[in-house]
Amino acid sequence: MAHETRIKVRGYHLDLFGHVNNARYLEFLEEARWNCFEDSGALPQFLQSGLGLAVVNINIDYARPATMGETLVIETGVKSIGNRSAVIHQRVLLDGSDTLIAQADVTFVVFDTRANKAVVLEGPLKEAMELIQAKSA
């Protein structure tokens, strides 16, 4: 089962058309990714490692507008793991239904903040990613 994060749509999320602005979905997706890593238990060790996850591509498909007062469920799972990168798949659903609001594939590389370069995805970080992937299968 994919990790789930709930977000209630507030007035400040909306654009002039009365629905969630497309740029806000980036924030919703990021919040859900942080929650997923935090809930996996790997976040403290990861933050101390000097590594970062640098997003290099986001592909979002919008299916239906979300409006004020609705609660969204963001499902987050690891889609694939490569040598230096991984892809996280996220779906935004209307809470309590199968109604798809949006879905995204987020590709990131593992970045060594001290060496200022991308590095191999290995060790405890890779193990954490594999655990998240197994739970979302």
Three-state DSSP string of the chain: CCEEEEEECCHHHECCCCEECHHHHHHHHHHHHHHHHHHHCCHHHHHHCCEEEEEEEEEEEECCCCECCCEEEEEEEEEEECCCEEEEEEEEEECCCCCEEEEEEEEEEEEECCCCEECCCCHHHHHHHHHHHHHHC
**Taking the domains of the chain in order of start, what are their residue ranges?**
3-136
Q: What is the CATH superfamily name and number for domain 3-136? A: Hotdog Thioesterase (3.10.129.10)
Which stretch of 38-47, 100-109, 126-135 has the lowest confidence by average pLDDT? Answer: 38-47
The yes-or-no verdict on residue 50 having pLDDT over 90 is: no
Confidence of residue 49 (pLDDT cuts 50, 70, 90): confident
Catalytic residues: 15
Note the pLDDT tens digit of each residue in 10-26: 999 999 999 999 999 99
Structure confidence at residue 128 (pLDDT): 82
